[in-house]
Amino acid sequence: MVLLSVKPLFSILVFTLSLLLILVLLSSPTPFFLYRTSSDSHAGEVDIWSVRRLVEWRPCKWWLQGHLTALPLETNGYIRVDCYGGLNQMRRDFCDGVGIARLLNATLVLPKFEVASYWNETSGFADVYDVNYFIQQMNGFVKVVKQLPPEIASKEPVPVDCSKRKGQFDYVESVLPSLLEHKYISITPAMSQRRDRYPLYAKASLCQACYKALRLTKSLEMKASKLLEAIPKPFLSLHLRFEPDMVAYSQCEYPGLSPASMKAIEAAPQGDRKPWTGELARIWRKRGKCPLTPNETALVLQALSIPASTNIYLAAGDGLMEIEGLTGIYTNVFTKSSLLSGEDFISMHGNTKAALDYYVSINSDSYIATYFGNMDKMVAAMRAFKGLHKTLFLSRRAFAELTFQGLKDKELMQALWKAHRDDFALGRGYALPECFCDFKL
Ligand SMILES: *[C@@H]1O[C@H](CO)[C@@H](O)[C@H](O)[C@H]1NC(C)=O
Ligand SMILES: *[C@@H]1O[C@H](CO)[C@@H](O)[C@H](O)[C@H]1NC(C)=O
Ligand SMILES: *[C@@H]1O[C@H](CO)[C@@H](O)[C@H](O)[C@H]1NC(C)=O
């Protein structure tokens, strides 16, 4: 018990000290050490990837050693994780669920991947991920079974919905009693769980599940590698989030949109959400809430000195709008639909397409996202796991602030360069802190 309470305290101390160090580094507006690089302008000769990195994210040691803690002999019961939303959201929730199962000394059964109606989906967990590989990779981290023992095999799990819980949520307090009572429960993980109270072996199970044990099924991987092969190299994978559902969800004003785009936004799920207007729209935009348009994205890429001849794979959903804003400047842009044969493409659903984008993006030379969504977090972390560090999230906030300041042309480009150069050098936001530790270079 004493050991259990000392370890989190120690982690909190280390965490606080690291945070302080980062704050000190960031509080000086232009950290002096950044200027020692020759790449202090967007003059065109050097691109953003040539900036010297000062911090690099790597898998934490306690994760890679996590299997050293023996699994309990007795199980407290069986847990099924029920996942909803897009592919990467389901994956994130599933990973959380694995951590919870280990925390509760439970046995995991295969998760249920619910399929979002507007995605028109049929793919469940086993259609996307290699089940046997998963079970094998989780060996020693958490117990996983394909089949329930006979005495509960005929039962439906008792649902324990944690997803709507507000405030800090503790699974041992809240869920363990149900597990012990019913022996078979299903959970939908809550966003606000107290992971700081997890013993490291539970966190390690989460990390192992998310970043090491999930591999696409053979047939999906074959499709994905065919796609990857077809893209000219080297290439940048660009996750450009400007689909109608994204824009509707954002509640941002975009005055210059074509009538076709306006119609698509109204027809999207959440299309009834009205954009903010006037001063509220300004505040909203300044807070970095508004997805970059393809136009704006092209401008920022230019500010980062990414040459117009760069091969770009567009990792994006169907119906990406106003794409001419990008392709007018970056002419070597490739999409799934342009590279895959018609019938291959038509037979695919949302989850399958998302899996292809994911696969290409964790294998590309560089990855840039215009948003910071579930896919971006997953891809950034996987890239860090594989030692790929040319990863960057474009700053919507910097873009909004600088344009509101009235900066234009060269001045704007210069300011955008500086904002992103610092992000890249300091590895800001490019891996999930949960399973990755920052390493000073
Ligand atoms: C799980 O088992 C470990 C020993 O392996 C024990 O220390 C821990 O308290 C158990 N947790 C629960 C929630 O049963
Ligand atoms: C959903 O899929 C079915 C069969 O694959 C198809 O007929 C239908 O048009 C699709 N609906 C949408 C909204 O894409
Ligand atoms: C994108 O930029 C072009 C000119 O570069 C402009 O004509 C067009 O209106 C812009 N589109 C949007 C949506 O801002």
In this structure, the answer to whether residues 435 and 359 fall within a common structural domain is yes
pLDDT digits (tens, 9 = 90+) for 67-76: 678 999 999 9
Give the residue whose CA is nearest to atom 14 of ligand 3: 256
Residues 373 and 403 in one domain: yes
Give me the amino acid identity at 418.
K
Domain identity same for 169 and 230: no
Please state the pTM of the whole predicted model: 0.85
Domain assignment present for 62: no
The two three-digit tokens of residue 263, written as one number: 């119609």
Query: Does residue 274 sit within a domain?
Result: no
The pLDDT, as a whole number, for residue 369 is: 97
Of 198, 233, 257, the domain-final residue: 198
Kindly give the distance from the C-alpha atom of residue 118 to the centroid of ligand 2, in angstroms, as a whole number.
10
Question: Could you tell me the distance, in angstroms and rounded to a whole number, from the CA of residue 294 to the centre of ligand 3?
Answer: 9
Pocket test for ligand 3, best of 295, 301, 330 (most atoms within 8 A of CB): 295
Instruction: Confirm whether 273 is domain-assigned.
Output: no
Which residues are near ligand 3 (CB < 6 Å)?
256-257, 293, 295, 322, 325
Query: Does 149 lie in the same domain as 225?
Result: no
| Of 78-87, 120-129, 196-205, the least confident | 120-129
Q: Residue 20: in which H helix or E strand, if any? A: helix 2-27
**Claim to verify: residue 374 and residue 418 sit in the same structural domain:** yes
Question: At which residue do the structure tokens 């994911």 appear?
Answer: 358
114 and 167 part of one domain = yes
Give, using CA atoms, the residue closest to atom 5 of ligand 1: 72
Q: Whose CA is nearest to atom 12 of ligand 3?
A: 256
Categorize the per-residue pLDDT at 187 as very low, low, confident or very high, splitting at 50, 70 and 90.
very high
Q: Is residue 256 part of a domain?
A: no
* Stronger pLDDT, 343 or 257, i.e. the higher one: 257
Task: Tell me how crowded residue 274 is: count the other CB atoms within 10 A of its CB.
Answer: 9
Average pLDDT, the chain: 86
Question: Nearest bound ligand to CA 255?
Answer: 3
Distance 369 CA to ligand 3 centre (A): 20
Pocket probe for ligand 1: among 105, 171, 175, 198, the residue whose CB has the most ligand atoms within 8 Å is 105
Distance 121 CA to ligand 2 centre (A): 9
Nearest by Cα to 79 from 145, 14, 10: 145
Q: Is residue 51 part of a domain?
A: no
Same domain flag for 173 and 226: no
State the Cα–Cα distance between residues 183 and 100, nearest whole angstrom: 15
**Inside any domain, residue 58:** no
Q: How far is the CA of 189 from the centre of ligand 3 (A)?
A: 42
Give residue ranges with CB within 6 A of ligand 1. Answer: 72, 76, 104-105, 172, 176
What is the number of the ligand 1 atom nearest to the C-alpha of 104?
A: 13
Do 90 and 193 sit in the same domain of this protein? yes
The whole-angstrom separation of Cα 214 and Cα 379 is 13
187 and 132 fall within a common domain? yes
228 and 194 in one domain? no
Q: Is the pLDDT of residue 28 over 50?
A: no
Q: What is the largest CA-CA distance in the chain?
A: 71
348 CA distance to ligand 2 middle (Å) = 11
Q: What is the 3-state secondary structure (H, E, C) of 104-115?
A: CCCEEECCEECC
Indicate whether 313 belongs to any domain: yes
Residue closest via CA to ligand 3's atom 11 equals: 256
229 and 378 together in one domain: yes
Distance CA 173, CA 179 (A): 11
CATH code (residue 305): 3.40.50
- Higher-confidence position of 145 and 428: 145
How many independent structural domains does the chain possess?
2
CB 208 within 8 A of CB 66: yes
Q: In what order do the strands lie in the sheet with 333-334?
A: 333-334, 311-315, 235-239, 366-369, 391-393
pLDDT in tens, 303-356: 999 999 999 999 987 789 999 999 999 999 999 988 987 777 777 777 888 999
Which domain range does residue 113 map to? 70-198
Are residue 296 and residue 193 in the same domain, yes or no? no
| Residue after which a domain boundary falls, among 164, 198, 232 | 198
Does the pLDDT of residue 194 top 90, yes or no?
no
- Residue 17 CA to ligand 1 centre (angstroms): 29
Closest CA to 25 of 441, 434, 430, 422: 422
Q: Which ligand is nearest to the CA of 327?
A: 3
Residue ending a domain, choose from 163, 198, 233 = 198
CA trace torsion 91, 96, 97, 102 (10° rounding): 130
> Stretch 287-315: mean pLDDT, rounded?
97
Q: DSSP assignment of 264-317, as one string?
A: HHHHSTTTTSPPP-HHHHHHHHHTT-SPPPHHHHHHHHHHTT--TT-EEEEE--
- On whether residue 356 sits in a domain, the answer given is yes
